[in-house]
Amino acid sequence: MDVEAAARAAAVHDAILGFEHGYETRVGTLGPRLSGGERQRICIARAILKDAPIVILDEATSALDPENEEAIQRAISALAAGRTLFVIAHDLPSVVRADRIVLLNEGVIEASGPHEALLASSPTYRRLWTRSMEMRQWKIAAD
- Helical ranges in 54-103 per DSSP H: 66-80
Q: Quick one: 113 and 140 in the same domain?
A: yes
Relative to beta strand 108-113, strand 101-105 is antiparallel
Secondary element (H or E) of residue 128: helix 123-135
Question: Would you call 51 helix, strand, or coil by DSSP?
Answer: coil
**CATH code at position 13:** 3.40.50.300
Question: Would you say how long the chain is, in residues?
Answer: 143
DSSP state of 99: S
Q: Quick one: 75 and 15 in the same domain?
A: yes
Sequence-distant (6+) residues with CB within 8 A of 72 are: 11, 37, 40, 41, 44, 60, 61, 64
Over residues 83-107, mean pLDDT: 88
Backbone angles phi, psi at 104, to 5 degrees: -100, 135
- Domain boundary residue, one of 59, 87, 115: 87
Q: So what's the pLDDT on residue 127?
A: 94
Residue 118: which pLDDT band, with cuts at 50, 70 and 90?
very high
Looking at every residue in the chain, the average pLDDT score rounds to 84
Q: Read off the amino acid at residue 64.
A: L
Determine, yes or no, domain membership for 94: no
Distance CA 127, CA 124 (A): 5
Distance CA 9, CA 45 (A): 7
- Domain boundary residue, one of 40, 64, 87: 87
Residue range of the domain that includes 70: 3-87
Indicate if the pLDDT at residue 2 is higher than 70: yes
Lowest mean pLDDT among 31-40, 85-94, 96-105: 31-40
Q: Quick one: 47 and 83 in the same domain?
A: yes
Backbone angles phi, psi at 93, to 5 degrees: -60, -25
Indicate if the pLDDT at residue 64 is higher than 70: no
